[in-house]
């Protein structure tokens, strides 16, 4: 922090959240610390020269409650994204997912995540195919980049990506297609928002090394651990947006779909684990295929050509 490469603040730009004193919330702090370490490490790995900002939300926002609680938590995320914009951030990543809610989709919390010229990204989720009716907020918003996940394997020729079985995908039938997505993508959701838009490694079995020492509840620091999930892929892609630096034309995921040929490596093998079997009409939302598919979007980045 003394070098200026990391700033920690509250979601409204004020002081960071105070450590919890309640034992149950201490456990929550400890669990969220793993998420935070993963997010910051992946953003830094993608953009080692970037200055990172961690905006802390109230710990209770990490837990589901009644609808009023959920709406308040999502409003806090909106405030945090606005704060990031005021601080000059070029990209923002959110590794959380809340149930779809028209109140926030069409209300202030949803609008707060619309920031042309700043990349706003969210994890597509770790539950596989979520269905053809509603996706998880905020990755379901047309102006948010929904980041899916892959499994990354070493081969004799280098590395190959396949669909990670947990990669979130689905439709948001309350909302129109993703900004910039061709009609062929939104058509798989009847003209509505289809996710995801892009992907990176997320499978915990082929995951990433994260260092975490914050253990206020157990007193047993985890130190080096292997972590995965689309909570890894979203901040990694956010780091690439910042490192690439070509953000003036960014409006949601639009530049993912207009990138030059070869900017993304297509993922053509594997499927996620749907809650129920995909019908033939839904197969593109669950299975890898040539071109766009639900679990991996347009594919995985091939360097910075797409950013």
Structure-token pair, residue 72: 């308040």
E strands, the chain, in order: 6-10, 52-56, 91-94, 119-123, 145-155, 158-163, 170-176, 192-195, 198-201, 208-212, 223-227, 264-265, 300-301
DSSP string, 150-181: EEEEEETTEEEEEE-TT--BEEEEEEEPPTT-
Residue 135 has a pLDDT of 84
Which pair of tokens denotes residue 93? 């990543």
pTM recorded for the entire structure: 0.95
Tokens of 44: 């830094």
Count of positions (residues) in the chain: 307
Is residue 254 within a helix (H) or strand (E), and if so which, with residue range? helix 254-257
Question: Model confidence over 159-197: pLDDT tens digits?
Answer: 899 999 999 999 999 999 999 999 999 999 999 999 999
- The alpha carbon of residue 68 and the mean position of all alpha carbons in its chain are separated, in whole angstroms, by 24
- Give 148's contacts (C-beta < 8 A, 6+ positions apart): 124, 164, 167, 168, 169, 195, 196, 197, 198, 199, 202, 230, 233, 294, 295, 296, 297
- What is the predicted pLDDT for the residue at 275? 63
- Which pair of structure tokens corresponds to residue 43? 């953003």
Residue 3, pLDDT above cutoff 70: no
Give the range with max mean pLDDT: 64-68, 71-75, 106-110, 233-237.
233-237
Per residue in 289-304, pLDDT (tens digit) is 999 999 999 999 999 9
User: CA–CA separation, 265 vs 139, rounded Å?
Assistant: 22
CB 84 within 8 A of CB 10: no
Structure confidence at residue 276 (pLDDT):
65
pLDDT tens, residue by residue, 53-67: 999 999 999 888 888
> Where residue 279 falls among pLDDT bands split at 50, 70, 90?
confident
């Amino acid at each position: 922090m003394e070098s200026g490469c990391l700033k920690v603040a509250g979601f409204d730009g004020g002081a960071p959240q105070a450590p919890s004193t309640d034992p149950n919330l201490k456990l929550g702090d400890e669990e969220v610390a793993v998420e935070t370490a993963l997010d910051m490490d992946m953003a830094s790995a993608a953009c080692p020269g970037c200055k990172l900002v961690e905006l802390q939300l109230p710990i209770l926002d990490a837990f589901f409650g009644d609808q009023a609680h959920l709406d308040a938590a999502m409003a806090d995320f909106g405030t945090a994204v606005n704060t990031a914009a005021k601080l000059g951030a070029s990209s923002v990543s959110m590794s959380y997912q809340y149930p779809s809610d028209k109140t926030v989709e069409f209300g202030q919390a949803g609008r707060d995540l619309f920031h042309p010229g700043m990349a706003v990204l969210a994890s597509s989720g770790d539950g596989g195919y979520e269905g053809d009716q509603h996706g998880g907020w905020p990755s379901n918003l047309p102006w948010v980049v929904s980041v899916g996940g892959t499994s990354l394997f070493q081969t004799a020729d280098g590395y190959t990506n396949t669909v990670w079985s947990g990669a979130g995908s689905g439709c948001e039938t309350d909302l129109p297609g993703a900004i910039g997505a061709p009609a062929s993508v939104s058509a798989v959701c009847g003209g509505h928002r289809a996710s995801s838009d892009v992907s990176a490694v997320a499978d915990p079995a082929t995951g990433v090394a994260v260092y975490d020492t914050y253990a206020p509840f157990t007193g047993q620091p985890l130190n080096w651990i292997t972590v995965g999930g689309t909570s890894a892929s979203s901040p990694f892609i956010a780091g690439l947006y910042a490192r690439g630096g070509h953000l003036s034309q960014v409006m949601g995921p639009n530049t993912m779909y207009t990138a030059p040929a070869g900017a993304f490596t297509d993922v053509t093998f594997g499927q996620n684990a749907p809650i129920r079997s995909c019908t033939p009409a839904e197969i593109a939302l669950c299975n890898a295929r040539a071109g766009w598919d639900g679990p991996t979007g347009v594919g995985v980045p091939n360097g910075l050509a797409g950013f």
